[in-house]
Chains A and B, each alone.
Chain A
Amino acid sequence: MIKAHIRELSVALTILLLMIALALIAPGYFSRQNLADLFLANAPVMIIALGMTLIILTGQIDISVGSVFAICSVVAGLSSRLGAPTLISAATACLTGAACGALNGALVGYLRIPSIVVTLATMVALRDALRWQTQGSWIGNLPASFQWMGFTQATYTAITFSGVTVLVLLTAWSLRFLSVGRAVFATGSNPQAARIIGIDTNRVTFSVFTLTGALTGLAAMLNSVRFNQIPSNSGLGLEMKVIAAVAVGGAAITGGYAAILGTVLGVVLLGSIGTALTFLGVSAYWEKAIQGAIILGAITLNILGSHREKNAPIKALAR
C-alpha cells in the first residue's frame, strides 16, 4: 500500500517539512483566518485541477484553462450585470466553460489532433479574442448580491469549503467506484485495448475536456464573487499553476496513472508555498526560483519512489 502511494507520500513529506518550518518560525500561518484566506484563494486552482487530473489521466493536457477562466469570469459578470440571479450567472459561466472545453475535446477526441497543439491554439485565440472584444475594460457596476453570492463572507466560505470538499470526494469516488471513472483510467492506460473492450475513447476524451471546461467556469465564478468587479485579463498563467500542481501530485504525464489525493496535495503544496515564503521572511525576489526548485525536488522524489516499480517486471520474470 505504501509502495503504491509512494508518489503522494513524497509530496506529503515535502508539505510536512514546509509546515514544520512554518510552525517553528511563523506559527501565525496556521491562524484560522489565514487558512480560510488560503483556501478561498486556491479553491479555483483546486477545482480546475480536478478536471486537469482527468485530462492528464487520459494522456492529454489542457493549457487553455487560463484563457477559458478569463472568458467565464467576464461572462459571469456580464450576465449578472444584465440582472441574472447569481445561480443563473454561475450556470452561464459553467456552460461557457463547457462549450470551450467541448471545442478542445472535439478537436482532440474526434479529430485526434494532439492536445498540446489544440489547447495552445485555443489558449492564444481565446485570450486575444477576449482582449479584442473587451478592449481590456473591467466589468463593474455589479449588483450588490453578486459579491459572496448574496451570503455573508463567513457563510460563503463555509459553503464553498463544503462544496469543494464534496466535489473532490465525489471525483475521487467516481474515479474509483464508477465504471465511467474506470473508463477514464482505461483510456489513458491503453487506448487501443480500451476500444477493443468497447469503451468509446473518443467520447471519454471529449467528456473530460468538456467537464474541465465546466469546472473552469465554476472556478471562475467562485473567484469572481470574492470581488465586486471583474477584470478582463484574469487567469494569466493559471494553466501552469494547475498543471504543476497535478504533476507534482504524482500524475503520470503520459496518462494512465493519477490520484485525486495527489492532486489535492499538489495544490496544497504549491498554493501554500507563495504565502509561506512571505511568512518565512524570504524576499519576494527569490520566490519564483524557490518554487521552481520545489517542483523539481518533488518530481525527483516522485520518480525515485517509482523507480522500483519500473524494475518490477524483471524481478517478476526472475521468480
Chain B
Amino acid sequence: MALPLQADSRLRENPPPRALLTASSITKNFAGVRALKSASLQLLQGEVHALIGENGAGKSTLTKIITGAISADSGTLEIAGKIVPHNDPNIARSLGIAAIYQQPSLFPHLTVAENIALALEGESSSRRVNWKQRRAQATDLLSSVGSSLDPMRLAATLSMAEQQIVEIAKAIGANASILLMDEPTALLTGREVDNLFSLIYRLRHDGVGILYISHRLEEISAIADRITVMRDGETIACRNAADVTRSELIYLMVGRSVASIFPKRSVPIGDLAIEVRSLHNPSAGLHDISFSVRSGEIFGLAGLVGSGRTELARTLFGLTPSTSSIEVRGESCHIHSPAEAIARGIAYVPEDRRQHGIILEMGIDTNISLANLSSVSQYGLITPDKEATLATHHTDSLRIKTSSIYAAAGTLSGGNQQKVALARWLAIHPQIMILDEPTQGVDVGSKAEIHELIMQLAERGVAIILISSELPEILAMSDRIAVLHAGTITGILSRGEATQPRIMSLAFGHTYHDTMAEHPQ
C-alpha cells in the first residue's frame, strides 16, 4: 500500500540535517506554579528524538506549547526557521506539526473516517464535505498503519487501542514534517507496536522529525536517535542514544540512582484465594475460563489489548456480571456488583486511572475512603477525624507527594494519582487484589515504589492478579502467568516456563502444546 507522503520535497540526501524546531529557554507558570523553568530542545530533520523525564517534569507542558494548545510565558519558539511569537493550534498545524496524544481525543459520535478527515481538513467554514473522498482517504491511511478498521464505524465503538491507531493514522495523514508522539504505545501490544515502529522508521527516512515521549526505556533505546531528559521543568541533558546506558538515563531523570527495578522476592504460597471454573460471560466476550490464585501468589494476566484481560477483571469485580459462579476463599458465590466483590475482599485497580481509578475533582482523603466508607462512619454518618486519619496513614505510608490530604486528586502527578487509587483499595484490606496496568504512564520512581508495594502485599498474604502489557514487568513479578486470546485462556505458564516468545505465541492464539514445542527454553 502506497503512503500518501510527499517525501520528494523533504528528503535531503546531504547532511547536515536542518533544524525543524528549536525551542529555547521556554518558561511557563500555572497559577503561580512553575511548570517550566527553562526548557530548550532542538529537533532535526529525519531524527527520532526522545523526550523523557518523570511525570511532572514538564514534558507535556512543553509539547503543548509546541502544538499551540497553550502559550509560553517567555522564551522563543522557532519552527521551520521562523520565529513563532504567538502559537496556536492552527498556526502549528499550518507549520507542519502533528501530534498523537497519550489519551486518544476522538469524537465519539462521529465515524473513523470523519475523525481522520476533521483533523486533516483545514478550517474554512463554508467548505463542502466530500464523504466519498473522506472514506477512501481513511481506508488508505488506516492500511498504511497496518490496520483494517472499518472507516464507517463510530469512534464510540472503538477500543482504546483502536482509537490510538486512528490517532496515528490522523497524524500520518497530516503529512507533517514534525510529529509529536506522547506515549503512543501505551495502549498497543505486540504486532501493533511493531507496525508503529516500522512506520516511524519510514517517516524518519522520509525526513520527518519525530519527537517521541515515553516512559518505556527499552522502547526508547530501540528507536531513538537522540534523547533529551527533563527534570523539574528544565531540560537536563541531550545525549545520543548510542552513547548512553539505561541506568544513566534513569539517574538523569530521577536525579538519584534507583535500585533494582523489579523487587521480586519469593513468598510462601498460602491457601486457595479465588478459583474460577469454566467461566462464561457472553456480554464481555469471555468463555471457558478456568484458573485459581492462592494467597501470597502474584498471578499475571498477559495477552494483547482486546484479548479479554480487562473484561475478565471487570467480570470478577462484578462490573459486567456473569452467570457463572466463582469460588472465593472456599465459598461459592455469584458476584453481581462491585459492592458484593468488595464485601468478599476483592479489590480492583482499573486500567483507566483518570476515568475509573480515582475521581479527579475529589480530595485525596475522600478518594481514599470512597470504597470503604463504612470504616470511617457510624450509623451511616461519616466521622471526619477517622477519615483524615485513614487518609493521612495512607499518604504517609505510600509517600504520596501533596501539600494537603484535602487537595483534589487531579492536581497530583500521574504516579501519585495511581498511589491514591491503590490506597483506596489498600484501605479495604483486600484478600484478592486485581491490578490492571498499575504502572502505565507512571514515572520510573513511582513505578519502583508500586512494584515494591505489590511485593509487600503478596508478603502479607494477598492474592494478586496482575494485568500488564509490559512483558518484562509481568515476567519479573509473576509467579504464574495466564495468557488470554480472544476471550479465553490459551495457557498458564509457571515462572520457570514463562518467556517472552512463549507468552507472545500464546497471545496470538497458539495452544500451550504447540507453544512449548515451538519455543523450547
- Point out the residues of chain A lying under 8 angstroms from B311, CB to CB: 314, 317-318
User: Could you say which of A7-15, A62-70, A196-204, A266-274 contacts chain B?
Assistant: A196-204
| A256–B123 CA distance with the chains assembled, in angstroms | 19
Query: With an 8 A cutoff between CB atoms, is A285 at the interface?
Result: no
Known: A189-B108, A192-B105. Is A177-B128 also a contact (CB below 8 A)?
yes
Query: With an 8 A cutoff between CB atoms, is B4 at the interface?
Result: no
A179 touches B123 (CB 8 A): yes
| A180–B131 CA distance with the chains assembled, in angstroms | 15
Query: With an 8 A cutoff between CB atoms, is A316 at the interface?
Result: yes
- Point out the residues of chain A lying under 8 angstroms from B129, CB to CB: 176-179, 181-182
- Point out the residues of chain A lying under 8 angstroms from B159, CB to CB: 313, 316-317
| A188–B118 CA distance with the chains assembled, in angstroms | 14
Query: With an 8 A cutoff between CB atoms, is A33 at the interface?
Result: no
Q: Which of B114-171 contact A (CB under 8 A)?
A: 114, 118-119, 121, 123-129, 131, 154, 156-159, 162
Residue among B88, B110, B123, B486 making CB contact with A185, cutoff 8 Å? B110
B69 touches A309 (CB 8 A): no
Which partner residue on chain A sits nearest B104 by CB separation? A193
| A66–B101 CA distance with the chains assembled, in angstroms | 43
B285 touches A314 (CB 8 A): yes
Query: With an 8 A cutoff between CB atoms, is B272 at the interface?
Result: no
Query: With an 8 A cutoff between CB atoms, is B109 at the interface?
Result: yes
Query: With an 8 A cutoff between CB atoms, is B320 at the interface?
Result: yes
Looking at the assembled complex, report how far the CB atom of B494 sits from the nearest CB atom of chain A, in whole angstroms: 28
Query: With an 8 A cutoff between CB atoms, is B89 at the interface?
Result: yes
Residue among A182, A188, A192, A309 making CB contact with B156, cutoff 8 Å? A309
| A83–B108 CA distance with the chains assembled, in angstroms | 52
Which partner residue on chain B sits nearest A312 by CB separation? B157
Looking at the assembled complex, report how far the CB atom of B67 sits from the nearest CB atom of chain A, in whole angstroms: 8
Query: With an 8 A cutoff between CB atoms, is A257 at the interface?
Result: yes
Query: With an 8 A cutoff between CB atoms, is B106 at the interface?
Result: yes
B156 touches A312 (CB 8 A): yes
A178 touches B109 (CB 8 A): no
Size band of the A side of the interface?
20 to 34
B284 touches A197 (CB 8 A): no
Query: With an 8 A cutoff between CB atoms, is A183 at the interface?
Result: yes
A317 touches B308 (CB 8 A): yes
Query: With an 8 A cutoff between CB atoms, is A152 at the interface?
Result: no
Query: With an 8 A cutoff between CB atoms, is A288 at the interface?
Result: no
Which partner residue on chain A sits nearest B120 by CB separation? A197
A190 touches B156 (CB 8 A): no
- Point out the residues of chain A lying under 8 angstroms from B154, CB to CB: 309, 312
Query: With an 8 A cutoff between CB atoms, is A315 at the interface?
Result: yes
| A186–B128 CA distance with the chains assembled, in angstroms | 16
- Point out the residues of chain A lying under 8 angstroms from B125, CB to CB: 178-180, 183
B126 touches A178 (CB 8 A): yes
Query: With an 8 A cutoff between CB atoms, is B430 at the interface?
Result: no
Which partner residue on chain B sits nearest A188 by CB separation? B109
A190 touches B284 (CB 8 A): no
- Point out the residues of chain A lying under 8 angstroms from B124, CB to CB: 179
A182 touches B118 (CB 8 A): yes
A185 touches B126 (CB 8 A): no
- Point out the residues of chain B lying under 8 angstroms from A183, CB to CB: 123, 125
Looking at the assembled complex, report how far the CB atom of A172 sits from the nearest CB atom of chain B, in whole angstroms: 13
| A318–B69 CA distance with the chains assembled, in angstroms | 36
Query: With an 8 A cutoff between CB atoms, is B487 at the interface?
Result: yes
| A189–B114 CA distance with the chains assembled, in angstroms | 12
Which partner residue on chain B sits nearest A256 by CB separation? B109
Query: With an 8 A cutoff between CB atoms, is B283 at the interface?
Result: yes
- Per-residue interface assignment for chain A, residues 302 to 315, with 1 indicating a CB less than 8 Å from any chain B CB and 0 otherwise: 00000001011111
Looking at the assembled complex, report how far the CB atom of A96 sits from the nearest CB atom of chain B, in whole angstroms: 25
A-B contact pairs, 20 of them (CB 8 A): A176-B129, A179-B125, A179-B128, A181-B129, A183-B123, A189-B108, A193-B107, A195-B89, A198-B89, A198-B93, A198-B123, A199-B123, A256-B107, A256-B108, A309-B154, A309-B157, A313-B158, A314-B285, A316-B157, A317-B285
What is the interface of chain A, defined by CB distance below 8 A to chain B? 176-183, 185-186, 188-190, 192-199, 252, 256-257, 309, 311-319
Beyond A197-B89, A319-B306, 8 extra complex contacts between A and B, CB < 8 Å? A178-B127, A178-B128, A179-B129, A195-B89, A198-B89, A314-B283, A316-B159, A317-B159
